[in-house]
Amino acid sequence: MTSDRERHLRELTDDGEIIDRAEYTKRSRRAFLSFGALGVGAYLGFRTIQNRPEERGIPDVLRSGLDVNAAVWSKLERDGARARTFAISDREALRVNGDHGLEDGSGDYIEIPDDEAAAWEINLTGTDGSDLAPIPLASIKSDFEVHDMVWEHKCIEGWANIVHWTGVRFSDVLERYAPEQASAEWMVLRTPRQRTPTVRRDYSSAIENYTMLHAQTLLAWQLNGVDLTAAHGAPIRIVTPLKYGIKQLKRIGSIEFTNDTPTDYWTDRGYDLHAGF
């Protein structure tokens, strides 16, 4: 590890503010209290707004707010609200959960041999259904700014671990490989079609544009400083603090861009398409 990289790991300045767990608890409490104060302010404001003249169908003060929103929205989507991050020293072991699309049918994880991992590609399908040039894993690992981010991974089953991911921003990769797809409303990630016919369950995860292009959504190949194991999604997975674990697909084989409301593994089983916070 180079000293530059060590310094970067110590500072971790590029993914938002670093705080420890005690501070996190303190701020959560403070945020909760100020939310109550906001409610009182909102009510008083509402009485004033009701008496304002209208512009394009809504009170003028709200309209100007909406116009400002529209103007800053695209910027906010990339650079705005960030999920809470932690210091590397807060990282914990991540529980393994979910082997759909990763096991060989008898419950054993399918290991990806080194030569296969080196030649790995993420296949792409465009919004018009056509195949696009795939994204080589080698390029993901070498052609983009590498980010180390630490956040709380939350599973809908009710557990959470603070974990450290190493990877590149999906938005950076998309900008290089398929910029014309960056406006797609949905992106559907899938595990690769398995070679062994015994595999019963491929996995898929549909994520909306906002989350996929968010600055904290990474194509990651390391967990807590170590290359991903097969169980954690080798050779490449998607991670984001904006969604529950079920959306964070391990072992990406393909991504489909679409403007139609998609389904995925869990929506097919009755779960919420959004699965975010």
* Residue 248: contacted member of ligand MTE, Mo ion, none (CB under 5 to 8 Å, by partner type): ligand MTE
Among the listed residues 96, 241, 219, the one whose alpha carbon sits nearest the alpha carbon of residue 168? 219
* Residue 243: contacted member of ligand MTE, Mo ion, none (CB under 5 to 8 Å, by partner type): none
Closest approach of Mo ion to the CB of residue 133, in Å: 32
DSSP states along 85-119:
EE-GGG--PPPP---TTTB-SSS-B----HHHHHT
Among 96, 160, 182, 273, binds ligand MTE (CB under 6 A): 96
Is residue 99 near ligand MTE by the rule CB under 6 A?
yes
The amino acid that residue 157 corresponds to is: E
> What character string, x for contact with ligand MTE (CB under 6 A) and - otherwise, covers 184-203?
-------x-----------x
Close Cβ partners of 84 (under 8 Å, ≥ 6 residues apart):
16, 19, 24, 151, 152, 241
Q: Identify whether the C-beta of residue 85 lies closer than 8 Å to the C-beta of residue 17.
A: yes
Measured CA to CA, the distance from residue 21 to residue 160 in angstroms comes to 14
Close Cβ partners of 170 (under 8 Å, ≥ 6 residues apart):
212, 213, 217, 218, 219, 238
Is residue 241 near Mo ion by the rule CB under 5 A?
no
Region from 47-55, 99-107, 192-200, 208-216 binding ligand MTE, contact rule CB under 6 A: 99-107
Pick between residue 191 and residue 194 the one whose CB is nearest to ligand MTE. Answer: 191
Measured CA to CA, the distance from residue 135 to residue 127 in angstroms comes to 17
Region from 47-55, 100-108, 118-126, 214-222 binding ligand MTE, contact rule CB under 6 A: 100-108
Pick between residue 124 and residue 249 the one whose CB is nearest to ligand MTE. Answer: 249
Closest approach of Mo ion to the CB of residue 161, in Å: 11
Partners of 184 in the β-ladder: none
Among 9, 18, 88, 155, binds Mo ion (CB under 5 A): 155
Is residue 16 near ligand MTE by the rule CB under 6 A?
no
Pick between residue 13 and residue 106 the one whose CB is nearest to ligand MTE. Answer: 106
Give the C-alpha distances (Å, rounded to integers) separating 164 from 2, 15, 169, 211, 265: 18, 12, 15, 19, 26
Pick between residue 233 and residue 235 the one whose CB is nearest to ligand MTE. Answer: 233
C-alpha count within 13 angstroms, C-beta hemisphere, residue 167: 30
Measured CA to CA, the distance from residue 134 to residue 138 in angstroms comes to 12
Could you say which residues in the range 244-273 bind Mo ion, by CB under 5 A?
245-246
> What character string, x for contact with ligand MTE (CB under 6 A) and - otherwise, covers 126-165?
-----------------------------x----------
Which residues here bind Mo ion, judged by CB under 5 A?
A: 155, 245-246
